[in-house]
Amino acid sequence: DIQMTQSPSSLSASVGDRVTITCRASQSISSYLNWYQQKPGKAPKLLIYAASSLQSGVPSRFSGSGSGTDFTLTISSLQPEDFATYYCQQSYSTFITFGQGTRLEIK
Amino acid sequence: QLQLQESGPGLVKPSETLSLTCTVSGGSISSSSYYWGWIRQPPGKGLEWIGSIYYSGSTYYNPSLKSRVTISVDTSKNQFSLKLSSVTAADTAVYYCARTVTVSDAFDIWGQGTMVTVSS
């Protein structure tokens, strides 16, 4: 199976900060990488698909980049509603796997 | 607007079979543009993909669960279902159903999730 490793596991930041979350795959997955946001008690929400494509309705302050094994999710200017847990997910293999999550907290 | 809703028992005894159904409303389950999946999340932990199914009935399962999982689809009812046999406390989790976009293999629409506890 393809292991997905996110860093950091948790992060404290302030409103207005620029934040970057990294996801590394254990083997090349081309651009088959998706990002989700999950708030407590809610289902995950798709933010970015195919590494860098913004899902419809998602604010443009979210962006994704990368290919191969290394990927990043960037939030250009944190808003209060962005404090949540973020997951990456690879869809290169028919055995779909998620990263362990990155918890973004208010500083 | 397409919506997904999970349903099924919230409490299952150890060694028994967990059965959940996902009802799709506001759209058809029989589209080649999408396929359908189950994902679970143990309390306080991350997301685990269980398996996926196309409307044709083709399935893909997580190898670690494959021996215990069956996912099926009923196009006449616009539903797909999950059965997980021989459950233990480790199967306690929130279970989500989700739509997957074929071209991106991303889960773009999720159900609200249903908590299933395995306990005697």
Question: What are the CA-CA distances from residue A89 to residues A2, A47, A57, A93, B36 (Å)?
Answer: 10, 11, 20, 11, 16
> Rounded to an integer, what distance in angstroms lies between the CA atom of residue B46 and that of residue B53?
22
Identify the band that residue A28 occupies on the pLDDT scale cut at 50, 70 and 90.
Answer: very high
Of A9-13, B31-35, B58-62, B64-68, the poorest mean pLDDT is in B31-35
* Cα–Cα distance, A29 to A18 (Å, whole number): 26
Q: Name the residue among B60, B96, B106 with its Cβ closest to that of A34.
A: B106
Which chain B residue shows the shortest CA-CA distance from A32? B104
Confidence bin at B25 (pLDDT 50/70/90): very high
A80: three-class secondary structure by DSSP: helix
The amino acid sitting at A89 is Q
Closest CB from A1, A42, A46 relative to B106: A46
Contacts A94 to B, Cβ<8 Å: 60
Average pLDDT value for chain B: 96
pLDDT of residue B104: 87
- In this prediction, residue B61 carries a pLDDT of 97
Q: Which residue in A33, A52, A89, A96 has the most chain B C-beta atoms within 10 A of its own C-beta, making it the best mutation to test that interface?
A: A96
Best residue of B107, B112, B114 to probe chain A, by most A CBs closer than 10 Å: B107
Please tell me the distance from the alpha carbon of residue B107 to that of residue B101, in angstroms, as a whole number. 7
Strand runs (DSSP E) across chain B, as ranges? Answer: 3-7, 11-12, 18-25, 34-41, 48-53, 59-61, 69-74, 79-84, 93-101, 106-110, 114-118
Query: Mind listing the pLDDT tens digit for each residue in B73-120?
Result: 999 999 999 999 999 999 999 999 999 999 889 999 999 999 999 999
Mind listing the pLDDT tens digit for each residue in A30-85?
999 999 999 999 999 999 999 999 999 999 999 999 999 999 999 999 999 999 99
Query: Looking at the predicted structure, is the pLDDT value of residue A107 above 90?
Result: no
Beta-bridge partner residues of B117: B11
User: Residue A49: its chain B contacts at CB < 8 A?
Assistant: 101, 104, 106, 108
Q: What is the pLDDT of residues B96-109, one digit of tens each?
A: 999 999 988 999 99
Label residue B65 exposed, middle or buried (CB < 10 Å: 0-12, 13-18, 19+).
Answer: middle
